[in-house]
């Protein structure tokens, strides 16, 4: 019964969103769409299986039903209760708040036992000159940052970089960051929705209310020893069948690679761990032991751990992610 699982995404209408996800093939509901939670077991937006024998099940329900056949025998038991990763597409029609995320220990102690939030970004589209905040300027101390927040001079502390399509950014817990206007991003992260806003440009929502800031908690969790950076693209390898695989980010929570394919891409889900597949360009046919299905740009699939061997044929670019 196992097959590649597609979900009905949970969409979020945060005030900085727009209609940009249509550019990557998404069919959107009316109004502002800031985020599309493609694969999510988080209670703030669980995905619902879109088709096949498990249609209508939420991802948490499916984890309970399939257990290790879905998540894999190599993952810790905690993954049977909280699906560990979350995949999003983000449309920054306007800039996001300057923010930081806690690590596991701080989130567990201060956010009702939730996970921390380490994430990574891949830029899918960028308007000319689009920027993002990636850490603090070298040498900024906690006292200097706190003073800048209090006086409204936070921009003097922020390390900004220009972003272009294909850029990759590793965002560990404790790193100050912000996505700038004019960017569409794929995000792979821990399954957490905990964000500490430091600055939100004095914006108000439709009701005229400012969004809350979380200065004290942010100052608790910012790691002032983290270096600022400029992103990276990794080192590619070629499988000889028209697929080039590039390692993008590896940490204790997830491994992410980019697959540029004009031919065939092979995979083997041997029962040890699930694989997430995020299509960013083109289309493919994925063949697996019990069938095949089409997948195209803007779609994401969860490949169960016990799926077995699979092959993808087509001309496409995809992100492939798993828990190490």
Which residues carry out catalysis? 197
Q: Is 102 helix (H, G, I), strand (E, B) or coil?
A: coil
Nearest to 302 by CA among 287, 280, 322, 281: 322
Nearest to 171 by CA among 111, 236, 123, 109: 123
Contact yes or no for 98/154 (Cβ under 8 A): yes
Q: Which residues pair with 280 in a beta bridge?
A: none
Q: How far apart are CA 135 and CA 47, in angstroms?
A: 31
DSSP string computed for 236-257: EEE-SSSEEEEEEEE-SS-EEE
Q: Which residues pair with 188 in a beta bridge?
A: 87, 120
Q: How far apart are CA 100 and CA 188, in angstroms?
A: 16
Q: How many Å separate Cα 88 from the centre of its chain?
A: 5
Q: Order the strands of the 35-39 sheet from edge to edge.
A: 10-12, 35-39, 85-92, 183-190, 119-126, 168-171
């Amino acid at each position: 019964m196992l097959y590649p699982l597609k979900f009905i995404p949970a969409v979020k209408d945060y005030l900085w969103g727009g209609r940009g996800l249509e550019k990557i093939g998404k069919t959107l509901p009316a109004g502002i769409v800031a985020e599309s939670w493609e694969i999510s077991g988080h209670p703030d937006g669980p995905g619902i299986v879109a088709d096949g024998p498990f249609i209508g099940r939420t991802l948490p329900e499916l984890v309970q039903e399939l257990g290790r056949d879905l998540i894999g025998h190599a993952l810790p038991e905690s993954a049977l209760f909280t699906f560990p990763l979350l995949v999003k597409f983000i449309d920054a029609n306007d800039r996001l708040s300057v923010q930081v995320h806690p690590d596991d220990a701080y989130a567990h102690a201060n956010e009702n036992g939730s996970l921390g939030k380490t994430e990574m970004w891949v830029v899918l589209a960028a308007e000319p000159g689009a920027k993002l905040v990636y850490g603090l300027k070298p040498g900024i101390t906690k006292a200097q940052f706190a003073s800048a927040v209090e006086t409204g001079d936070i921009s003097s502390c922020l390390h900004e970089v220009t972003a272009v399509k294909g850029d990759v950014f590793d965002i560990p817990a404790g790193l100050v960051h912000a996505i700038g206007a004019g960017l569409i991003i794929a995000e792979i992260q821990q399954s957490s929705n905990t964000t500490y806003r430091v600055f939100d440009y004095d914006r108000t929502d439709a009701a005229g209310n400012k969004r809350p800031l979380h200065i004290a908690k942010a100052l608790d969790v910012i790691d002032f020893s983290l270096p600022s950076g400029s992103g990276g693209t990794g080192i590619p390898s070629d499988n000889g069948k028209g697929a080039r695989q590039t390692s993008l980010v590896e940490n204790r929570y997830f491994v992410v690679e980019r697959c540029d394919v004009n031919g065939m891409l092979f995979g083997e889900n041997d029962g040890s761990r699930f694989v997430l597949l995020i299509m960013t360009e083109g289309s493919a046919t994925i063949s697996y032991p019990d069938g095949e299905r089409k997948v195209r740009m803007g779609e994401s699939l969860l490949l169960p751990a016990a799926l077995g061997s699979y092959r993808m044929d087509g001309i496409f670019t995809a992100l492939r992610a798993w828990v190490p």
